[in-house]
Structures are given as structure tokens and as C-alpha cells.
Amino acid sequence: MKKYLYIIVVLLMYSCEDVIDVDLNTIEPKLVVDASLNWFKNTTGNDQEIKLTLTAPYFDNEIPPATGAQVTVSNTGDDLFVFTEESNTGIYKNNTFVPQINETYNLEIIYQSEIYNATETLKSVVDIDFVEQNDEGGFSGDETELKAFYTDPADEENYYFFEFLNDIPEVPSLEIYDDQFTNGNQIFGFFTEEELETGDLVTIRNYGVSERFYEFMFILLQQNSTDGGGPFQTQPATVRGNCINTSNPDNFPLGYFRVSEATELIYTVQ
Amino acid sequence: MISFNKSILISFLLIFNCALAQDKFTLSGTITDAGSNETLIGVNVIFPDLQTGTNTNEYGFYSISLPEGTYKMQISYLGYSIMTETLTFSEDKTINYKLIESTESLNEIIIEQDIERLNIKKPQMSVNKLSINTIKQIPVVLGEVDIIKSITLLPGVTNAGEGSSGFNVRGGAADQNLILLDEAIIFNSSHLFGFFSVFNPDAIKDIKLYKGGIPAKYGGRVSSVLDIYQKDGNSNEFHMNGGIGIVSSRLLVEGPIKKEKGSFLVAGRSSYAHLFLPLFDLDNVAYFYDLNAKLSYRLNAKNSVFLSGYFGRDVFNISDSFENTYGNTVVNFRWNHLFSDKLFSNMSAIYSDYYYGLNLNFVGFDWNSGIQNFNFKYDFKHYLTNDLKLEYGLNSIYYKFNPGDIEPSDESSGINSFKLTNKYAFENAIYIDAEHIVSDKLALSYGFRVSSFLRLGQDELNVYENDNPLNFNDELQIYEKANPIGSESFDRSNVIKSFLNFEPRFSLAYQLNEKSSIKASYNRMTQYLHLLSNTTSPTPLDIWTPSGKYAKPQLLDQVAIGYFRTFKDNLYSLEVESFYKKIQNRIDYIDGADLIANNAIEQVILNGRARAYGLEVLFRKNEGKFKGWLAYTLSKSEQQTPGRNTTETGINDGEWYNTAFDRTHDISITASYKLNNKWTFGSNFLFQTGRPVTFPNGQYEFNGINIPNYESRNSSRLPTYHRLDLSATYNPSPDSTKEWKGEWVFGIYNMYNRRNAASINFGQNRMTGQNEATRLAIFGIIPSVTYNFKF
């Protein structure tokens, strides 16, 4: 909700912003785990990939891959899924993965002789019911707003992770929602973009996620936003995900191991 | 417990009553402005032959005891002609004096040194007084005279930067300031997210800022007291004054209800509705308004009553998607009663509330939150002898906190209605303070306040395993919310948690010679309310929450020592003070804590501590064509939240870190120059170390976006802040005898157009995908013009 306050402050201050150079310190590279196993509805979910990278100086354009790691995922039934690297890209793939709702998975990575671990449960998600388009102009007056409606199940706590992709921005638009105030209702994921034109395609994905991922992503999105700043900014800090370094706890990894059921809808702008 | 307090009070009184019987006569009365009959605060009443004197209190009352005889008396007050009289004492006397405002002549009356010596003699230290006339001469952004901005020019006072709410005193947080308007507590002092303050300068009579050595009369906040008194209104004649500026217009109407006895005052101020419209191509409404009203009536020589009110609101509306309203309401009834010519009393009954409302049409809900309180105060000022004055009294406040409720705005809304649990509390205090002149050289002030806080019954208070609402995940090294194992509901008459604190206050002044003195003070204070805010500067949406089972009251201990000296018959004065303070139980928030609409705040807070220390220098030139001051502060302000046991990391790895209000160096120079009767010029220059901030020390990629990885908290700084402002006041016909008097105020804010960073923000450009550092600089060079009038 504070986000809405940010919006108004940013609007008031918009004209006074400029991009500047700042000298920053840089930490020793750390392992970054970008392990998101997604089981899209009506697919087998066998094909999965995990991306391992390293941290880089803030203004660098290149993110170095973490190559040469051994990556495996196991379930409670002792099935082992081995992820193999595609020629020094830091991308590790597997095509035998077996997704199952509410199954708990364990990720193990051995990188530079240190062992990293994470555990997560595969969360289900409901379908996107429909998309509503609003051309009224939104906050700035020339925005196109999309609302992707879904119906929250009343009998459980749910957490949602939305991804909105289209060709215009380089960066995907990510949103997270909980059902604290909307339990059991039909509610929406929200996307707004000034440059949208009739005929543009917007890919909308919704992932079922755990409460911990919700908390993690909440902070991450807060800390990455280009708006938001000013005196109303919260204190940023290093964000710890669900991965640990069992060999050397101080050299903890960043990122998250997420396992989700997912739903996708491709919307054509009217 | 109450009877225990009473017995302390009574025995305290008895001790002093023994020293009373003497052959002295009492002179008492009220001092007012001859023109408006407005009472004057802090007027010096001096008997040079006896080397003694007193000054008027907040209601213009004075009382002094003298031996039989004939003496010369002098009454002096800044901006008024000195009144001299010879009085013979053979009985008690009540005399009311009327002072005449000194005409704008160049031959300013030189105030004699006796008067200032009294000030260096007084044990009260760390206090700054600004007259409303001084405040009005300080150049300000967009020409809006602003009390809060003015006090940030004093040593030890800063704010979080342009466009941020509140102010910080001696490294304390904005919520640690007690802001009183006619004795009523104001919870939010800002309009438009801090661009302007809520006090209409036309309606204000006097402000006083206590930074340390805070008298026992005040309590409930740990950092400072800003005590503001409104004008009573002119009980002689009907008058209007006002101003037209580029942001807002003001109008004040005052006049007698019954000549010499009763008066009214109504003051309104409103900004223009589409304040920011010219700047943005947006269909928006953003404005604020406030209304001050006061009725004063002098029933007889011993009784006066006052009814005053304040109502202020900010309103934002953007494209009908977003509507936001917030502000303070205060209603206040006071009764001044003289029990004798030595015992003055004031009783106040105050209602005040702070409201915050939000309507988000595009999501489909309404949000309401606020705090209401009923405040009863009974304060006595007892002029026992010239060497011993007592202040004592009691204070009770009942609070109702509404942390928020959510209602769907229409039937199609997907939002369920939801109510965060209301909280209730009852705060009580009694106090006594003595101002004691021990010898020619030594004056003391000592006393204490006993405060108690009762957290009253509420619904659905969460219960946790081992009473621990916050778990530490040892493996991931993060704090996690504990799940409640149940909840308890209590009747409102139950006390679910109580606190009792003893707050001693002590200060002394030792006069070294005619011109200089040293002073020292110690004070302990307790703050039972916490403003939940994990941002650099408070927002209007931030919620106040009472201490209770999981949030302990903040406890402050402060010591200060100072050297005070006047030069050349008080033409110049120098004040040097050094302070050290520490605060226990300062709330801190776990990383990423979401405080909005959070019904279980205990799951995201830890109790930490804070400390601050520094050196303040204030050099003033008090009189002449050229007046002004130079303030320099060297200080440090830090906070620490260690883990609760050895396995926990605490916040920021349990290390001390700079608070957002830490400024190593803070220099401000304020000057005014009166060229002639028509033109007066003002300027100020500010230079401050940049605000501590947290910058990234790396980046990584996650889910297709770049994430900054942050260094330890507040270990970098924004660039140094500095700017120069100028103003010129033009009075076209100073000698005019016409009723209508007008003046023009021209101003230039940020003369050399420095882009001072209010923040530097790190993020990924959505279109290019590049990481960028974005500087937000709020005000560049801003010229302004205001027209003020009165008749």
C-alpha cells in the first residue's frame, strides 16, 4: 500500500530527477542462485533450467556466469534430477523433472568445493479468468492499464507472483500479491504502460509461491524500483533468500530456489 | 500508586513552605500590548537597585515579592519601548501594564545589561526562543513563512531534507519531538509531505524550543519540546491582516467581544487548489488549508477563559484514481485562575485528533486511520519567594488508536472489509519543579515527573509461544514472523500492561562574572508512543502505536553543559553547549518490514538503543541595523539493535550505525539588514554534511531483473548540502497614518541554484535495462513574491 504513496510523491517530484555518476564500493563476488522451476498448466513440466551467476560491480553491464557447478534437485521420494550445464553459460538444464503440487524439493549445488542447499515446496495457482483493459489514462494521463483477474481460493492462504512481459520495456514488470484483504474474491494483477498500442502482445504469467518467497520478493522489488526513493524510502539491506552455504555459512549465496505451478495468458492490446 | 505520588508532592511542598514567612509585599499583574491588549510572554520586570526581577509566564502573568521601600522598576521586552516607573511598597499590589510597541525608528533603545544578566543567571539552558517577527524576516522557499523551517536554522536542529516532514533535534527522530499548540499535542506538523508546516504564522504569538534541560512540566517525548502559543486576539479594536503569496493566501480577523475583556481571533490559510498542475500535465488537485480560531475572555482580575481550535487538512486527488485526505483537529478549553497573587494556575481540557484517509478507486477500497486523545492538564506556578518558584501539576491523557480499517469502495470491488484492532491507553503524570536562586552566583532548577502508562484492554491481542513474536532463523540468518498460537480479548477497563517511570530533572547556572556563566543540566524522559516508520522521514500514513507487551517505552538520559557570555552590553552574545544523550528501547524494524496495514507490528520490531552527542555554538548580534546569528553544530547520532541472544545477528549485524539524522557538521548563518524605513534585507546560508545513506556494493540478476546488493546500513553519505537564500521586504509608505498598511516580500530561495540531492536512488532503467543512479533534487532556484496587509 505504501507503494501508492510513493506513486504520488514521485509524481510531485518527477521533474527534479536526473541521472548522475556515483562512486561505489564493490564486494567480493558471491554465488547467485536463480532457480525457478515452473510447471505451466497443461504441460509435463519435465524441461527445467537453473541459472547460476556471480555478483558484479553495480554499474557493470556484464553479469558473469558461475560455471562448472554440480546442480541436483531431489524430491521426498528420493528421485534425483541432475542439471547439466550448457557449455560454460552458467545455465544448467534437466528434462526429466517430475512436478507435483505440494511436493517438497531440495536443491543442492556444489560450486568451487562449497556445498549450497535450499528447500522449497511446489505451490499451486489458479487460472487467469480474464483481462480488463482501461484506456482512461491512469495516473499520468496517457497510460494503458491491464487488470488480469483471478479468483482466490477462500480456504487457504495464497501468495501470487505475476510477470508481465512485452517488447517495449527491457525489464519485465513483476508484481507480488497476498490474499490478506482479498481472500476468496475475484481480484487482479495490475500492469500499466504508457507506450502500449493496439495489437501489442502482453504475456501475463501468474505463479503460485510460498510465503517466504513473497517476503523475499517484496523486499527485492522495493529495493530495485527506480521510483520510490526520496525521504519515504525504506532502509535497504542485503536480502537473504532460502539458499544456504553449508560448508562456509559466512559466504552465503544470494537469490532463491522457487518451485511453482504457473499459468500463462497472452493478451492482445485492444 | 496515586496516593504515593500525592504524598511525595505534599512533602515537597511542605519543605518549601517553611521558608516563606517574611516581611515582603507582592507585586503581581498582567502585561499586555497597549495596542491589541494581547498578553506578552517573557517580559522582563526588573528592579535594578535590588538586582532582582522576574518575567511574565505563558499567559502574561508576573509576580514578585519585595521588601518595604521605594524602588525604580523597569519593564522591557524585545520590540517594545522600555517602561520605567518608581514604586513604593507598603502593601501587596496588583498592577497591569501595557507596553507600547517601539516605532520603527532607527534610534533603537539599547537594552540595559541587567536584563541579559538575568538570562545568563537562569538555570534553564538548551532553549531557543524565536519571536514571530524574527521568523517572518527569514527568507523561505516560495515565500511561505514557516516555523518548522525557521527552527532548523538553530544549532542542534536539522531536518531530513527538502520535502521531508518534521525536524530532528540533537540527533533525535522526528517522532521524539513534543509539539504543543496552545498546550495541545500536534501529531503531524507538516502539510504536503513536509513542504510547509501546519502553523499559520499570523496566528502565532510565541515559540520556544527546548532541546535539553527540559522542565518537568513537559513529558511524553524524549527529544525536544516545541511550545507554541497562539495569539489571543485584539480586545481593543477590530483588525484584519493577511497575505497573498504564490502558494497560499492568509487572512486573520480579530477584535473585541467586549472591550478590554474579551476578544476573538479567526485565521484561515489555504493553498491554491491546483498547486502542482502547472508543473505536470496531470489532472490533479493538491492543496491544504488550515483554520485557527480563539475566544478569550477575562472574567475578572482572577479568572480568564480561553477556547481555541485548530483544524487543518491536506487533500490530494489524482485523476480520480487516488484521493488522500489527512490532518489535525484540536479543540481546547483553558481556564486561568489566580488563587492568590503568588499562585497562578491554568487548567486545560483538550481534545485532539489526527486523521488519515485514503481512497484508491483503481484498486477499489477506502482506508481510514487515526489517533484521538483527550488531554487534561492542571498546572500551577507558585511564586513562593523571589528566590524560589515552584511549578507543579498533573496531566492525564486518554488515547484511542485506530491503526486502520479497509472498506471496499463499491460492490464490484474485490477487497474484503477489514479492521485493524483498535488500541487504547491512558497516560498520567504528576510533576514538580523548583527554580531556586541559592546565592548571587548559583541558581538551580530541580524537580521530577512521575509518569505512568496503562495499556488498556483491546480485542484480539496475539499470543505467541514463549511470548516471542519474532523468531530468528539460524540457518538463513534472518528474522521471521512467529505465528500466533492464539489471541486474547480484554475488556476496555482491564490493564494489559502498565509502566511507571520516575523522571528526575536538574539544571544549574553558575555565574562567573557580570557577563558570563556556565550551566549544566540532566534530564530523564519517557516516551510511551512510537511512530511506526521505517523510512528516512515520517510519512502522513505512518501510524502511532502505544507501548505495551512487546514495545517498551523509550527512556532518555541527557546531560548538557554550556558556557554563556554577552559582549558589549549584550550587543553580542555567545552560547556554547555540549550534550550527550542515550535512549533505551528505540524500536527498529527487521529488514523489509511492511508496516502498512500490519495488525501484528510486534512480529517485525526489535528493541534497540540510540545515542547522540555533540557541540553547539550560537553567536548572535542582537541589536542594530544589522542583526543575525551564526549557528554551528558538530555532532554524531547513532543507533544499535543487537540480537536478543548470541546466536542472533540483530539489525545491521548488531553494529552501531549512523541514524538518518546524523550530520557531522551543520552551519547556518542568518542575517538581516535594515537599510532604511522602506527596505529590509534578509539572508541565510546553510552548509551541512550529507545525510547518511545506504548504497549498493554490487548487483546480481534474478528473474530477469537486476537487483542491487546493499552495503551495511547508512555507511555512505549524500553529497554536502548547501544553499543561500535572500529576501527583501519593501514597505512603500512606512510613515503613512492610513489604516491600511501593506508590504511586499520578495525572496529568492537557493540563490546559486545548487542541485542538492534529497536522495540518490538506484534502479534499473525500464527501457534500456541499464542500472542507474538517480538524484532527486527538489528545489532549484525559486523566486517568490508575497504581499502582506493589515488594517
Over residues B328-336, the mean pLDDT reads: 95
Complete DSSP assignment for B714-733:
T-EEPPPEEEEEEEEEE-S-
Question: Binning pLDDT at 50, 70 and 90, where does residue B103 land?
Answer: low
| A197 close contact with B: CB closer than 8 A | no
Among B537, B591, B597, the residue with its CB nearest the CB of A232 is: B537
| Interface residue A130 vs chain B (CB under 8 A) | no
pLDDT at A112 over 90: yes
pLDDT, average across residues B584-604 = 85
Give CA–CA dist B406/B718, Å, rounded: 38
Mean pLDDT of B197-221: 91
Which pLDDT band, with edges at 50, 70 and 90, does B662 fall under? very high
Which A residues, 55 through 84, put their C-beta within 8 Å of a C-beta on chain B? Answer: 55-61, 63
Query: Closest chain A residue to B709 measured between Cα atoms?
Result: A238
Cell numbers 538520559 correspond to B557
When pLDDT is cut at 50, 70 and 90, the band that residue B163 belongs to is low
Q: Which of A232-236, B359-363, B575-579, B723-727 has the lowest mean pLDDT?
A: A232-236
Neighbours of B572 (CB within 10 A): 14
Closest CA to B56 of B300, B299, B261, B336: B336
Residue B234 has pLDDT above 60, yes or no: yes
d(CA B149, CA A130): 51
To the nearest whole Å, the CA of A4 is away from the closest chain B CA by 8
CB atoms closer than 10 angstroms to residue B791: 12
Contacting residues of B for A3, CB less than 8 Å apart:
none
pLDDT range class, residue A11, cuts 50, 70, 90: very low
Rounded average pLDDT over A129-137: 88
Residue of B nearest to A11 (CA): B280
Query: Measured between beta carbons, which residues in chain B are less than 8 angstroms from residue A187?
Result: 414-415
Distance (Å, rounded) from C-alpha B9 to C-alpha B700? 64
Per-residue pLDDT for B362 more than 80? no
- B711-752 confidence digits (pLDDT tens): 988 999 999 999 999 999 998 887 777 778 888 989 898 899
B477 and A9 within 8 Å at the Cβ level: the answer is no
Q: What is the DSSP letter of B260?
A: T
Query: How many Å apart are CA B73 and CA B211, to the nearest integer?
Result: 33
Q: What is the mean pLDDT of residues A139-162?
A: 88
Residues of A in contact with B714 (CB under 8 A): 235
Specify whether the CB–CB gap between B337 and B303 falls below 8 A: yes
> Of B478, B596, B698, which is closest to A27 when you measure between CB atoms?
B698
Query: Cβ distance B53 to B43 under 8 Å?
Result: no
Q: What is the nearest CA distance from A172 to chain B, expressed in angstroms?
A: 7
Is the pLDDT reported for residue B110 higher than 50?
no
B458 to chain A, closest Cα gap in Å: 21
| Residue B632: closest CA among B685, B696, B672 | B685
pLDDT at residue number B768: 84
Do residues B82 and B109 lie in contact, with contact meaning Cβ atoms separated by under 8 Å? yes
pLDDT recorded at residue A13: 45
CA distances from B596 to B423, B599, B666 (A): 16, 9, 34
- Partner-chain contact B698 A26, CB within 8 Å: yes
pLDDT band at A228 (very low <50, low <70, confident <90, very high): very low
Strand order in the sheet with B44-47: B52-55, B44-47, B69-76, B83-89
**Contact (CB<8Å) B701/A53:** yes
Please provide the DSSP assignment of B576-642 as one string: EEEEEEEEEEEEEE-TT---TT-S-GGGSEEEEEEEEEEEEEEEEE-SSSEEEEEEEEEEEEEEEB-
Residues 173-192 of A with CB under 8 A from B: 174, 180-188, 190
3-state SS of B649-681 is CCEHHHCCEECCCCCCEEEEEEEEEECCCCEEE
Q: Which residues of A touch B756 (CB under 8 A)?
A: none
φ, ψ for residue B520, nearest 5 deg:
-145, 150
| Residue among A4, A144, A212 with most chain B CBs within 10 A, to mutate | A4
Cβ contacts (< 8 Å) between B762 and chain A: which residues? 58
Residues of B whose CB is below 8 A from A174? 703, 705
DSSP A73: E
Count helices and strands (H / E) in chain B: 4, 53
Judged by average pLDDT, the poorest of A39-48, A204-213, B536-545, B729-738 is B536-545
CA gap A250, A246 in Å, rounded: 9
The beta-carbon neighbor of B709 closest among A11, A238, A242 is A238
C-alpha cell at B343: 499562585
Give the CA-trace dihedral at B531, B536, B540, B542, to 10 degrees: -30
| A150 has a pLDDT exceeding 50 | yes
- Residue A116 Cα, gap to closest chain B Cα (Å): 12
Q: Would you list the DSSP string of B381-448? A: EEEEETTEEEEEEEEEEEEEEEEEEEEESSTT--PPPEEPPPEEEEEEEEEEEEEEE-SSSEEEEEEE
The pLDDT-based confidence of B121 (bands split at 50, 70, 90) is confident
Q: What is the DSSP letter of B466?
A: G
The 10s digit of each residue's pLDDT in B10-61 is 444 444 444 444 578 889 999 998 888 889 888 888 888 888 888 898 889 9
Q: DSSP E strands: which ranges in chain A?
A: 17-20, 31-40, 48-54, 70-75, 80-85, 91-94, 104-111, 114-121, 128-137, 143-151, 159-165, 173-178, 186-193, 201-209, 243-245, 254-268
Beta strands B741-749; A104-111: pairing state: unpaired
Residues recorded for chain A: 270
Q: How sure is the predictor about A221, in pLDDT bands with cuts at 50, 70 and 90? A: confident
Whether B336 shows a pLDDT value over 90: the answer reads yes
More confident residue, A16 or B314: B314
Tell me which of B111 and B549 has the higher pLDDT.
B549
B406 interfaces chain A, CB cutoff of 8 Å: yes
C-alpha to C-alpha distance for A148 and A132, rounded to whole angstroms: 7
What SS3 class is residue B340? Answer: strand
Secondary structure class of B40 (helix, strand, coil): coil
Contacts of residue B778 in chain A, CB cutoff 8 Å? 13, 16
Radius of gyration over every alpha carbon of chain B, rounded to an integer in angstroms: 27
Q: For A214, which residue in chain B has the nearest alpha carbon? A: B592
List A261's β-bridge partners, or say none. Answer: A39
Confidence of residue B563 (pLDDT cuts 50, 70, 90): very high
B391 band by pLDDT with thresholds 50, 70 and 90: very high
Q: Within 13 Å and on the Cβ side, how many CA atoms surround A239?
A: 30
Of A58, A184, A232, the CB nearest to B539: A232
CB B310 within 8 A of CB B290: yes
The Cα–Cα gap between B138 and B146 comes to 9
Q: What is the pLDDT of residue A43?
A: 94
CB contact under 8 A, A34 and B761: no
CB contact B37 to A (< 8 Å) = no
Interface touch B774/A18, C-beta < 8 Å: yes
Q: Tell whether the model's pLDDT for residue A7 goes beyond 70.
A: no
Average of per-residue pLDDT across B460-482: 88
Where is average pLDDT lowest: A183-192, B119-128, B243-252, B365-374? B119-128
Report the alpha-carbon distance of residue B74 to residue B97 in Å, rounded: 11
Distance CA B161, CA A32 (A): 36
Write the residue in B161, B319, B701 that is nearest to A231 by C-beta: B161
The values of phi and psi at residue B169, to 5°, are -115, 125
Nine-digit cell string for B576:
556554547
With bands split at pLDDT 50, 70 and 90, how would you rate the model's confidence at B81?
confident
pLDDT at A142 over 90: no
State how far the Cα of B409 lies from the Cα of B15, in Å rounded to an integer: 64
